[in-house]
Amino acid sequence: MSARQTISSVALYEAKLLLRSWGFRVFAAITLAFLAIVILLIVQPAYAGFYFGRALSGALPMVVIKLLNVFQGVMAVFLATEFIRRDRRLDTVQVVFSQSFSNGQYIFGKFLGLFGLFLALDLAVIAVTIVIHVFFSTTPFALSAYLGAFALLSLPTLVFMIGLPVFLGSLLRSQPVVYLLSLSLLFLSLVIIGPGMSSTFDAFGFFIPVFHSDFNGLGPIGPLAAARGMYLLLGAALVLGSIPLLKRLPQKAGENRRIGILAVLLAAAAVGLGAGRLAGLAADRAFREEIRAESAGLINNPVPALIACDIKLKHEESRISAEADLILANRGDRPLPELILNLNPGLKVEGIRSGNESVPFRRRRHLVTVAPAAPLAPGTEIHLTIAYSGTIDERYAYLDIEDERLETPLKIWFISVPRRAAFLGRDYVLFTPESGWYPRPGLPASLLFPDRAGQEFSRYTLSVDAPASLTAVSQGLSATSPAGDRNTTVFKPETPLPQIALALGRYEKMTVAVDNVEYGLYLLRGHDRFTDQLGEIAAELPDLIRRIKDGVEVVLGLSYPFRQLALVEVPLGAAAHDRRWTTAQEFVQPELVLLPEMGVLNAGAEFRPGRGGPQAGQRVALMQRGGTEITPADIQRTLFNRFIQTNLLGSPGAVFPGLRASPFGLRIQANVQPRFNLLPQYLTYAEGLRMDEWPLLGYALEVYLGGRANPQTIRGLAVALGQGMSEQERINAFLMEHSLADALSGAAQTDIPLSAVTTEKAKYLMVLIRSKLDREDFDDRLVEFLAAHRFTSIDRKEWEEFFSGLGGLDLDGLISVWREGRGLPGFWIDDVQSYPVRDGERNRYQISFRVTNPTDLEGVLKVDFVTRGSQGMRGGGGAAVPVENRAFLVPPRTVLDVGLVLDQVAVMTTVDTVLSQNLPAVFNLPFSNRRPGPGVRPFDGVTAKPYVPATRGADGEYIVDNEDEGFRLPERGGENWLRRSLQKVLSQGGDVQDTAGLMGLINPPDDWSPLITQNFYGRFIRSAFLKKSGTGQNRVSWTAELEEAGDYNLYFYHEGLGGGMGRSNFAGMNRGSQAPGGRQPGGGAPAGGQGQVRSNAPAGGREQGPRMAVQRLLPGSKTFIVHGPNGPEEITLDLKDARPGWNLIGRFQLPAGANTVELTDKNEERYVLADAVKWLRLK
């Protein structure tokens, strides 16, 4: 009998038996049903979070196949071990075993039967997915995406997850033990070790970065094939290895030995692939380290300046050939015997000429060292033509970024996309300067910073020879001339530029010209889902763009410097990282903004109105005052404006209210924070802000002026929600101990992103400079200076002249202290008032407050005002624009009384403590509109007096905050580790945050967890502890050492969240409280009125600040236990009528010494907050 016949017979009947087992049927049904539901959830448009699934052809296959892999992995374990049970039954198996076939044929037949069955299930799932994909969604379809995912992910996993239990079963002959081992491996792979070591141990292919892009398919699949091939081979080895273990005499002598050897060889090959992968990763890291090491000695070498660079590039499928004509000048004072240039190590230099003369050069890795016939004298130029060709070695990019961060793929839910620094393929090319695709003098910024930080502007031209099917995009307006089946496109930017980029692909180009600037949109052919979505406003786009642009430029004070602004769609895997010397990520190039595929990393790219909102073409009546009708054009206008504001002008990640993000509270977000802000077009790429002497000045200016265009007030919602507090806390903790110099040099080990630290310090520097100069017109003078220095480097002398024109400043000294200083100041702000005031004949508005800096370090405060009448200045629903802002220097150990007089009422006032121990660092000032007494004169200015610390217990007042020593948490209970692990798996792409601001109230944690927002009481850190309500057994306590025995009023601090409609939502700071009826142990009338508190804010004050959507989160009640001389006394207070601030618990007679108050977690509502408690001795 032939082997094929035996194998197919065993396979056929193995499959039949399994197909008839209830285990398989139930599993298969559950799998099909579950995946069908997932697919339907993704494709139907209710959930904004799933936009990526609806937009990307590669997303749905990837999600489905990854989930399928996990299901079938589990199933395979159970079903593959069935044969152990069956084969142990001699009564059945002897009849089969007595037939004439080899053990190998038998085992292979069984494997094939199982494999075939799962293959059929996979194909069924894929068929269902494709049907839904093609007929029930508008997602672009690419069969190759399915085939690629199936071949690379499903097949190897299937072979491995069948082979493993088959082998273990043959070895151990115990079904339960095999279950345990196999499922443990599954768990390890999915939860613990899978994502690490570049997914080498990811048996399920769950984490390995693989993604089909419409731009370039799966990309280079060599390393991927090796990684997955490892599991394929290992699976095959395990299947083979189970043959000698079969309890049946082999048909032929030596059979077991031969098969065993083959199994070992396959296993060795698998291990070799895995080891090769790991070795490859190590080799890549070593390569980068070698480049860094080699470059270290060259950092301070003098380099020529690049005056002009003319590039002629020819695209030849997966390689390029190019010629770069460079004009280099020696702007130093010493001759240059050698000229050092850098070029991607994957590109081979064919030759260098100067005129007609060949010039010798040395090429080593990324360096091209040119030795001209004579040294380049100071003040002279040289022309060089460099011919080069080859491919791009992506390891050369981002040499300043940590290896782990580079190796981390882009993750959106279950999708893991390999991040690439450059693309060079037959159908697509993307070169940004990071890839080093053209020769540049010296070393790239990634190797120079912070030792060198210069930036220069050069004249660039680019000529691209490519197939006619591909469209080239670069800086400058272009002209294309056909030549057969190829085109030559020439780019001639009108202004000098610091760098150029190139994209080449099957783009469709759409442009609109507005006021001498061409606005372009380059989308991959077939990706245009947007022009239909915005069809109603097509004619008015120029007006919309003009209004947005004007709005930005009025605030910024600078005009757009280029003739072109193009949004260019690029592959999803295009990498960009935060840099230390600029706020610009690689997505923003001069004149270009690179938007990853279909805008899936952008907010609102689907251009859909909110849930329940009107659809395109539908006119609806707005159920608001006046019954105004909203038209589809109105909706599209709003969506367009929001998209531009959020993605290109504001901060990323803005909330689009009304859209449901995702079902079941799943967190679906990307693990990157891309930035597409247009500010670099005005600054980074138009101004030579960076300089060797003050390498971070440029960054500081970008941050500062970026804040001008996008002040904190616009981010009011995020600020008010307290999002990002945990990172802020960590940054503060870091800066208390370390200086910026420590951070830049890497001397301080931290996992906080360096950009977060430098952004905070950068903002501080500019506000500090401004406050020291004490010039209200500082911002205006600054932008004037910048506008006068476009497209040129600004040197130290020019900066010094500028600052001396504003009153003089020791910039060197200031920057030095700023770099090297450690520690942070802190501020208390209280006594906040606002009232109308008569100033001569005019009605004006007074704002005053007191700020205390009790620390030994000076600090700065920035105050932004939004005044009535300025709202709505940006069209189409944009956020309000602040009219005024002030900066104050607060010396150490000083109390400042600050007065500000405004022409308009401030609707919102935001204080930014810039760089301080305060958490939150930015908060809104609440006001109370009290009427001033007669004759109150306006006060605009600052008076200072020394700070005298109050002794504890002064005026008989003792406050214990949750940040103080006297506060105690209970022992932490057993955490729900399983829940956390599951959350981690399901929330792919985002970290599980511990403090997500006030949104944590919606899903309060099981244990007391810190929460920081301005609502809470605190000195510098305004925090409280939050916990899910419980039975009352779990308690926190505050203990104060009272100096004297006596009658005390006991207060708790109420944050004022939740509550009914119309209730104020934002607590004041140190506000007075109403006491709605505290209980007194001795009976008598409830205490009312105000306690003896510091602030004198009256009752009935109206709050400022954005209303929050937490009305549903009622505070319920608080149950305190006061430990007095007569024992513990339990008091429950209804918080329905509690006011923000101090609320009375009751009056007690307390002894001197330690006195404790406890708060239990008992509450009929969802959560309990523990903040601060105050004892006030009654006189």
Partner 1 sequence: MGQVTIRGLNHRYKTGVQALRDVNLDIGAGIFGLLGPNGAGKTTMIRILITLLKPTDGRVEVDGLEIGGHRGEIRRRIGYLPQEFSTFSRLKTWEFLDYIARLRAIGPKSRRRALVEKVLEDVGLYEARDRRAMKLSGGMKRRLGIAQTLLGDPDILVIDEPTVGLDPEERVRFRNLLSDLARRDKVILLSTHIVGDISSTCSHIALLREGRVAFDGPPEDLTARARGRTWKTTVAAMDLDGIKSRYSVISTVPSNGGFEVRLVAGRFDDGPAEAVEPNLEDAYVDFMRSTDESPESGSAGEGGW
Q: How far is the CB of 28 from partner 1 (least distance, A)?
A: 16
CB of 246 to partner 1, least distance (A): 12
Residues 384 and 325 sit within 8 Å (Cβ to Cβ): yes
- Return the residue of 21, 256, 662, 671 that touches partner 1, per CB under 8 A: 21
Would you say 86 or 1136 has its CB closer to partner 1? 86
Region binding partner 1 by CB under 8 A among candidate stretches 16-24, 329-337, 500-508, 979-987: 16-24
Distance CA(226)–CA(199), nearest Å, equals 12
90 vs 788 by CB, closer to partner 1: 90
Shortest distance, CB of residue 20 to partner 1, whole angstroms? 4
The one-character DSSP state at 865 is E
Which residue from 32, 86, 272, 790 is in contact with partner 1, where contact means CB under 8 A? 86
Q: How far is the CB of 6 from partner 1 (least distance, A)?
A: 7
How far apart CA 865 and CA 759 sit, in angstroms, is 22
CB of 238 to partner 1, least distance (A): 25
Q: Report the nearest approach of partner 1 to the CB of residue 83 (Å).
A: 11
State the Cα–Cα distance between residues 673 and 123, nearest whole angstrom: 36
Per CB under 8 A, does 173 bind partner 1? Answer: no
Of positions 44, 92, 138, 615, contacts partner 1 by CB under 8 A: 92
Q: Least distance (Å) from partner 1 to the CB of residue 253?
A: 7
Q: Which residue has the tokens 């076939």?
A: 101
Which residue from 30, 90, 283, 468 is in contact with partner 1, where contact means CB under 8 A? Answer: 90
Q: Min. distance of Cβ 90 from partner 1 in angstroms?
A: 7
Helices and strands (DSSP H and E) totals, the chain: 28, 45
| Closest separation in Å from C-beta 94 to partner 1 | 5
Q: Give the shortest CB-260-to-partner 1 separation in angstroms.
A: 18
CB-hemisphere CA count at 13 Å for 819? 15
What's the min distance (Å) between Cβ of 124 and partner 1? 21
91 near partner 1, judged by CB under 8 A:
yes
Q: Which residues contact 132 (CB under 8 A, 6 or more apart)?
A: 36, 39, 40, 43
Q: Residue 1062 burial (CB < 10 Å; 0-12/13-18/19+)?
A: exposed
> Does position 16 bind partner 1 by CB under 8 A?
yes
What DSSP designation does 110 have?
H
Q: Between residues 100 and 1033, which has the closer beta carbon with respect to partner 1?
A: 100
Q: Per rule CB under 8 A, is residue 318 in the interface with partner 1? A: no
CB atoms within 10 A of CB 202: 23
Taking the least distance from each CB to partner 1, the nearer of 95 and 373 is 95
Pick 112 or 307: Cβ nearer partner 1: 112
Query: Which residues ranging from 95 to 154 are in contact with partner 1 (CB under 8 A)?
Result: 95-102
In the complex, least distance from residue 751 CB atom to partner 1, rounded to whole angstroms: 56
The minimum distance between CB 32 and partner 1, in angstroms, equals: 22
Taking the least distance from each CB to partner 1, the nearer of 2 and 1031 is 2
Distance from C-alpha of 727 to C-alpha of 71, rounded to nearest angstrom: 36
| Smallest distance, partner 1 to C-beta of residue 19, A | 9
Q: Strand 319-329: give its sheet, edge to edge.
A: 357-358, 347-354, 381-390, 319-329, 305-316, 459-467, 486-491, 478-483
Return the HEC string of 725-775: HHHHHHHHHHHHHCCHHHHHHCCCCCCCCHHHHHHHHHHHHHHHHHHHHCC
Looking at beta carbons only, is 90 or 127 nearer to partner 1? 90
Judged by CB under 8 A, does residue 623 bind partner 1?
Answer: no
Distance CA 722, CA 1018 (A): 15
For residues 877 and 641, the answer to whether their CB atoms sit within 8 Å is yes
The answer to whether residue 1 forms part of the interface with partner 1 (CB under 8 A) is yes
Q: Specify the residue, 249 or 1154, whose C-beta has the smaller distance to partner 1.
A: 249
Please say which residue, 250 or 753, places its beta carbon nearer to partner 1: 250
Sole binder of partner 1 in the list 23, 44, 94, 426 (CB under 8 A) = 94
Contact between 25 and partner 1 by CB under 8 A: the answer reads: no
Residue among 22 and 135 whose Cβ is closer to partner 1 = 22
Q: Give, in order, the Cα–Cα distances in Å from 612 to each of 46, 476, 646, 724.
A: 9, 43, 22, 30
Identify which of residues 17 and 32 has a Cβ nearer to partner 1 in the complex.
17
Q: Residues 197 to 256: which contact partner 1 by CB under 8 A?
A: 248-253
Interface size with partner 1, residues (CB under 8 A): 32
d(CA 604, CA 717): 17
Region at 285 (left for phi over 0; alpha for psi -120 to 50; beta for the rest) = alpha
Q: What share of the chain is helix, strand, coil (3-state, %, to 5)?
A: 35, 25, 40
Nearer to partner 1, 101 or 1038 (CB): 101
Closer residue to partner 1 (CB): 249 or 296:
249
**Looking at beta carbons only, is 86 or 1063 nearer to partner 1?**
86
In the complex, what is the shortest distance from the CB of residue 532 to partner 1, in angstroms, rounded to a whole number?
Answer: 55
CA distances to 59, 68, 80, 739, 1015 from 123, in Å = 18, 11, 19, 58, 55
Closest CA to 478 of 563, 551, 552: 563
- 39 vs 53: CA distance, rounded Å: 9
Is-contact 199 274, C-beta < 8 A?
A: no
* Sign (positive or negative) of CA dihedral 269, 273, 276, 278: negative
Q: Using the rule CB under 8 A, is 89 a contact of partner 1?
A: yes
Binding of residue 791 to partner 1 (CB under 8 A): no
- Of 253 and 373, CB closest to partner 1: 253
Residue of 978, 1036, 1031, 1029 lying closest to 1006 (CA atoms): 1029
Q: Return the range that interacts with partner 1 (CB under 8 A); candidates 15-23, 403-411, 493-501, 541-549.
A: 15-23
Interface residues with partner 1 (CB under 8 A) are 1-2, 5-6, 9-10, 12-13, 16-17, 20-21, 86, 89-92, 94-102, 248-253
